[in-house]
Structure 1
Amino acid sequence: MTQGKSHLLEGKNIIVTGSSMGIGQAVAITLAEEGANVVLNARGQQGLSETMALMPANRIGKVVSYCGSVADYALAGQLVESCMDHFGHIDGLINCAGIAEPQGSSILDIAVEDWQELINVHLHGTFNTCRHAAPLMKQQGHGSIINTSSHAFMGMYGGTGYAAGKGGTNSLSLALSMDLKEHGINVNVICPGAKTRLSTGEDYENLIGDLNRRGLLDDSLMEASLNPPDPSYVAPLYAYLASSHAKEITGRIFWAAGGYIGLFHRNPDQLLAFKDHETSPPWKMQELITKLHRKDLQKIEETCNVILSTNNCRLLVKQKLLLKIANAAPVQWLMRLKN
Structure 2
Amino acid sequence: MTNLTETETIVVGARRPRRGASARSPQSSIVATTGTTFILVIAAIYFLLPVWWLFVSSTKTAGDLFNSNGFWFSDWNLWGNIESVLTRDDGSFIVWLLNSILYATVGGAAATILGAACGYALAKFDFRGKGIVFASIIAGVLLPGALLTIPLFLLFSAVGVVNTYWSVLVPAFVSPFAVYLSRIYADASIPDEIIEAARVDGAGELRIFFTMGLRIMSPALITVFLFSFVATWNNFFLPLVMLKDQSLFPVTLGIFNWFNQTNQTPYADVITGSFLSVVPLIIAFIMLQRFWRAGLTAGAVKA
**TM-score, normalising length: structure 2:** 0.25
More helix per residue: 2
By relative contact order (CA 8 Å, sep 6+), the higher-ranking structure is 2
More strand per residue: 1
**TM-score, normalising length: structure 1:** 0.23
